[in-house]
Structure 1
């Protein structure tokens, strides 16, 4: 059994035409076709297009390395009745 993956386009007639050389002649074949419509590729926006200043991450990465953020105790919370 061999698996061949390819991309093809359906014409305006709604019919998919496949021409696949398989290297086999004068034999019966069992063929299974599974298709999945492809979504058009969406180009990713750059960081600047998303509103970040140029070089922001390069300049700020690791800035807390020598002065790590310490989270203080949040205290004791009151116990409330369970809602049923």
Structure 2
């Protein structure tokens, strides 16, 4: 038994179209379909929805500037 995982869109007609691999032509197969609804990839949240998401974790700026100790040592990371 083999399994194939695909992500497809079911149109208004209710028909799911599946492309079968080339090696499975001209033979009988038994198929079981298990489905799970997934959020659409084309849904884009408006920028306004992000306003205030860091309200509970504010960024604190002070007069000391940026500390060099906070920088990661990236020596050899890009070799």
Q: TM-score scaled by structure 1?
A: 0.48
C-alpha distance in 2, partners of 1:22/1:3? 15
Structure 1 segments unaligned to the other structure (5+ residues): 56-84
1:19 is paired with a residue whose SS is coil
Q: TM-score scaled by structure 2?
A: 0.50
Q: What RMSD over aligned residues (CA atoms) do the two structures have, in Å? A: 3.0
Structure 1 residues 22 and 5: alpha-carbon distance in aligned structure 2, compared to 1, 3 A threshold: farther
Larger radius of gyration: 1
Q: Residue in 1 aligned with 2:38?
A: 38
Q: Residue in 2 aligned with 1:12?
A: 12
Q: Which has the higher contact order (CA 8 A, sep 6+)?
A: 2
Whether 1:53 and 2:52 are equivalent positions in the alignment is: no
C-alpha distance in 1, partners of 2:29/2:40? 33
Structure 2 segments unaligned to the other structure (5+ residues): 61-79
Q: Residue in 2 aligned with 1:60?
A: none
Structure 1 residues 54 and 9: alpha-carbon distance in aligned structure 2, compared to 1, 3 A threshold: same
Give the helix-richer structure, 1 or 2.
Answer: 2
Q: CA deviation at 1:24?
A: 2.3
Structure 1 residues 22 and 36: alpha-carbon distance in aligned structure 2, compared to 1, 3 A threshold: farther
